Structure formats: C-alpha cells, structure tokens
Amino acid sequence: MALRRSSIWSKELTIAGPGFNRWLVPPAALSIHLCIGMAYGFSVFWKPLQGMLVGTDGKPLAGCAAGAASFSDKMAGTLGTLASTDCNWTQFGLGWMFTLFFVVLGCAAAVWGGWLERSGPRKAGFVAALCWCGGLLISAAGVHAHQLWVLWVGSGVIGGIGLGLGYISPVSTLIKWFPDRRGMATGMAIAGFGGGAMIGSPLATTLMARFASPANPGVWQTFVALAAIYFVFMLLGSFAYRVPASGWKPAAWSAPKAAARSAMISSRHVHLNQAHKTPQFWLLWLVLTMNVSAGIGIIGAASPMLQETFGGALLGQTGISYAAVKANPALLARIVAIAAGFVGMLSLFNIAGRFCWASLSDTLGRQRTYTVFFVLGIAMYMTATYAAGTKSQAIFVAAFCIIASMYGGGFAAIPAYLADLFGTQFVGAIHGRLLTAWSTAGILGPVVVNYLHDTRQEASVPPDQIYGSIFYVLAGMLVIGLVANLLVRPVAAKYFMSDEELARQRQLAHEKSLADDAAAVGPPHTGTGPSSAFAVAIAWLIVGVPLAYGIWMTLQKAATLFR
C-alpha cells in the first residue's frame, strides 16, 4: 500500500517493520506519562505562590477573597480578583488549577480520541507536548505578571488538553503490541502517570530553591525550566512510538480459539460511534466513577486526615489531642512530617497498584479484578473506621495503602477491560470518552469528602471522630460500583462492525497489514537481536533513572512513618 503522506507525523511512517522490538514502546509511553503526571504534584507550588506579594512591613499581603466564609463567597471573591495584582492568591483560587487539570483531561480525551486513532500516537504525543509544556510557559508569564486567570488558562485549560492527549496516546498502541498481556502493557504506562509527581515534586522544589531570591520564590523560572525538560522527554517519547501492522502478533503466540476464549473477551470490534450506545459503556463509566470518587477524595485529604485522626498519638503521646498539637509549633512540625510520609506511602502503593493489579487482571480477568477492588475496598474502609476508633496506626496506614493500590489499579485495568469488550480498533478513543468519568469523579470525590468534613467540624465533632462516617459514605460508593461491575455482560453482536466495515476503517486510519508490505511478509516476531536488545536497554535506562530518583525521594519521605 503506497504511503499517502510523507510528513514525519504521518501514521504510516510509524508502522514498525518485522524486526521491531515491542519492548521499546513502553519506555516511549512512560517518557510522556512521567512528564504529564506532574499534574498530581502541582500542590508543591501552592505555598510559594500564596506569599509572592509582600507589603512595606515585609509581611505577605492578604489573600484575594480572604475572610470569605461560604463556598459561594469564596468563588465570587476569587472570580472578582482573577486579574488583581494587589493581593496574594489563596489556596482556594490556586486549587482550581488542579480541578481544571482533570476536568479538561477527560473532556479533551473524549473530544479528540477519534482524531488520535486516525492520526496515530506520534502526532498526538507531539501535540500533547506542545500543550502541556506551552501551558507551563503561559503559567510562567502569569506568575511573573501576577495574573491568576493566566495560570487557569495556561496550565489548567491548555495544559489539561495536553494531559488528555498524552494520557490516552499510548493506550491502543500498547494494547495492539501486547495482545497477550493487555493489562500489564497499559499498567506500565499508566503507572508512569502516577509516578510523575514523585519525580516532578522534588525536582520542582530543588529548582525553586535554586532560583529563589528574597523578593522572588522562583516559581516562574521553575515553570520555564520544567517546560524545557518535559518537552525534550515528551518529544523523544513521541518519535519513539511505533504501531504494529494489522495482523501482527507476538512470536509463538496465537489468539485463543473461540471455544477457549472467555465470553467477556471479544475478537471483533465496535465502532467509536456505537460504543456509547451500549449498556456496557455506561456500566464501566459508573464503575470508574465510583472507584475514582471513593479514592481521590480521601487521597487528596490524606495528610490532614492522618493528623486529625491520631493527633499526638503519631508521636507516641496518646493523651495529646490534635488541637493541642496545633497549638504547639514544634509538635505540629513533627506530625506534618509524619503525614508527608503517609502521603509518600500512598503514592508508592498507587503506582505499584497500577502495574501489579493490571498485570494480575490478565490472569484473573477484568471483571473479577474489579470485583476484588470493590469488595476489598469496602472491607478496607470498614477496617479504617475501626482503626481510627482504636487508634491503631499500623492498621489504618495498611488499609489506606491497599485502597491507594486499588485506586491506581482501577485506572490501569480499565483500558484492557474496554479492549476485551469492544475490541482494539477504537479502544483509545473509547477510553478517551470513558475518561469523562474521571472528570466527574475529580469533582464528586473531593466535594463529598470536604463537605462532610467541614459539616462535621462545624457541628463540633472531635477531630479524631470526623472521618469515621465519611468512610461509610465512600464504602457506599464502592457498593454502587460493585453492582455496576457485576451487571456487565458481553456486548451484543449487533454493535460489532462487519469485516467490510473494519477494513474500511483501517483504510481511513492509514493502517497497513502484513500482506501490504513485502518487507513485513513472514513469521511475525518481536526483534531480539543484539542491537535490538541494546536499544531496549538504553530506552529503559532513560526513563528508569528519573523514576528511580522519584522512588528514592518518596521512600525517604515515607521513612518518617517508621521513625
């Protein structure tokens, strides 16, 4: 089949030859996900950004809309001061960047998922790099000019589009390269998104310290430096992407016969325009929404939750309440450090869960894996309630480490679940549309947790008793997700494309089959020669060194839990 286009961005030019080693693709995906995963670590900028403006007395100016009590007052005050240059930003105002990240991520993935399937992962990865790194540069200008709306538009909206495209860019590619291990393949890449903050947060802290001066916290310079570093890595990842020719399969592997294949794993393909018309799509949308909502709200509040629940018990002083700790700066600094270690532990389990649970789903099956998530998650929330009441710190931490692992595992296993049900032809685009569940959960989970927390706090409930009832509500969300998962059945035959329709879609997507390219004729294999092995080693080293740095920094932080 002749190439239609000669552009370096053409999908045809990314089709791999028969000697290509498929293990080069996961590092390409990781190089992008480790960069955009810094979205999870943006809170490292909140405190420096809140004290940028200083008065003549040397003290930070008041925050914009400071003193507003209700949510509506805070929102109105923040909107009214988006372009203000005479007051400091509040955490409430800055926090909307985090919300925009994940709302725009889901929307962008849904809107441009079909374009990604047609254009290929290289072009999508490059556009993601332009948006994510360009958003950081725009935010740098916003910090320099002290314009909050510029940060919202730069990192929140434009950067959020980059997040959406970068997040889904490797999904269908990895699933097609690893038909024998779909869960493991997507788990490797999506683990990178969870690990991005482990690298980015300490790196950003180091850069801010390097660029800081008495009159400048060094934030805008750090944004510029991160944009340059991330652009290089994302560009390398984009150009390293390759897609297999249609009909490619790993050496010595053949798809299971129909009689041996699970009814939940289809060998046919559903068109993107038909997927959302199936009950399976909406059941999985609810599954992802409930799993993420039950995890993201509590993970986002992990540090204050541990401090309020255990107070002085974190220091071995059970008779000291959280209120007494707050009144003592020395004690407060110590438990804040311990709580930071708790957050580090959750990060590690979140990342490990993305790879381990997704890999396990290849053996256990996707539906059974999610059943484990929900049943075990409900049990862990009940256990956490007990541990909070009895002040059993080890049990409490263990319960939430398991919850964090299943939160991450839910993200990593969902693309493979979709590929099982809907086939692989449009799985990236279908996954993009399903990620609107993440956008919904990104609002629902934190709002529920924070609302219940503040309501109980205003009712004078003791801090160590605030979270018990919240855990029951989150367990209730998991019950809803469990029911939805158990209702999933194989997709009805009427939704699948015919062979003629599939051939037409592959032609529109500029795909090439093994028979189309004389160079690709012969037994399919993965490329295992010496040069191929060397290239794989270098590729994994490029992403492995930064990841090892992030894990080491997180382990140092987590060690405070055991001192």
Q: State how far the Cα of 82 lies from the Cα of 154, in Å rounded to an integer.
A: 13
Give yes or no: residues 275 and 413 share one domain: yes
Give bridge partners of residue 88 from the DSSP assignment: 63
Q: How far apart are CA 71 and CA 476, in angstroms?
A: 26
Give me the pLDDT at residue 4, please: 46
Would you say residue 507 lies in a domain? no
Q: What is the count of structural domains for the chain? A: 2
Domain assignment of residue 29, yes or no:
yes
Q: Which residues contact 26 (CB under 8 A, 6 or more apart)?
A: 174, 185, 188, 189
Asked whether residue 269 is domain-assigned, the answer is yes
CA atoms of 52 and 94, how far apart (whole Å):
13
Judge if 110 and 213 occupy the same domain: yes
Closest CA to 285 of 423, 440, 459: 440
Q: Tens of pLDDT along 273-299? A: 999 999 999 999 999 999 999 998 888
240/370 same-domain check: no
Please indicate, yes or no, whether residues 267 and 246 belong to a single structural domain of this protein: no
Q: Is 467 helix (H, G, I), strand (E, B) or coil?
A: helix
Cα–Cα distance measured from residue 286 to residue 291, given in angstroms and rounded to the nearest whole number: 8
Residue 127 CB neighbours (<10 A): 21
| List of residues 6+ apart from 280 with CB closer than 8 A | 421, 422, 488, 489, 491
Any alpha helices (H) in 391-494, and if so which ranges? 393-422, 427-434, 436-458, 467-486
**Element containing residue 203 per DSSP (H, E):** helix 182-211
Alpha helices in 45-90 (DSSP H): 46-50, 71-80
Q: CB of 126 within 8 A of CB of 9? A: yes
Instruction: Please indicate, yes or no, whether residues 483 and 540 belong to a single structural domain of this protein.
Output: no
Domain boundary residue, one of 446, 464, 492: 492
Q: Which pLDDT belongs to residue 395?
A: 94
d(CA 465, CA 447): 19
The tokens describing 144, both together, are 């320099």
91 C-beta neighbours (distance < 10 Å), count: 12
Q: What is the CATH number of the domain that holds 107?
A: 1.20.1250.20
Q: Kindly tell me if the per-residue pLDDT of 522 is higher than 70.
A: no
Domain boundary among 441, 466, 492: 492
How many Å apart are CA 8 and CA 481, to the nearest integer?
Answer: 43
State the pLDDT at residue 462: 87
Question: 3 in a domain, yes or no?
Answer: no
Q: What's the pLDDT tens digit per position in 503-512?
A: 888 877 666 6
Q: Are residues 176 and 148 in the same domain?
A: yes
332 & 243 share domain: no
Residue 420 in any domain: the answer is yes
The answer to whether residues 561 and 482 belong to one domain is no
- Residues 281, 383 share a domain: yes
DSSP state of 51: T
The residue behind tokens 């405070």 is: 560
Q: Are 101 and 160 in contact (CB under 8 A)?
A: yes
Kindly state whether residue 310 falls inside one of the protein's structural domains. yes
Residues 402, 474 share a domain: yes
> How confident is residue 521, by pLDDT bands cut at 50, 70 and 90?
very low
Whether 238 maps to a domain, the answer reads yes
Amino acid 3: pLDDT = 40
Q: What is the mean pLDDT of the chain?
A: 86
Q: Where are the beta strands (DSSP E) in 200-311?
A: none
- Contact criterion met (CB below 8 Å) for 405 and 349: yes
Domain stop point among 468, 492, 516: 492
Based on the domain organization, do 318 and 373 belong to the same domain?
Answer: yes
Cα 361 to Cα 357: distance, rounded to the nearest angstrom: 6
Half-sphere exposure of 398 (CA within 13 A, CB side): 10
CA 101/CA 112 separation, integer angstroms: 16
CA distance 412 to 414: 6
Confidence of residue 69 (pLDDT cuts 50, 70, 90): low
Residues 189 and 302 in one domain: no
For the segment 384-413, the average pLDDT, to the nearest whole number, is 93
- What is the rounded radius of gyration, in angstroms, for the C-alpha atoms of the chain? 24
Q: Which domain holds residue 191?
A: 21-55+87-250+528-563
- Residue at 39 is within a domain: yes
Tokens describing residue 417: 């679940």
Please indicate whether residue 550 or residue 53 has the higher confidence score (pLDDT).
550
State mean pLDDT over 445-472: 86
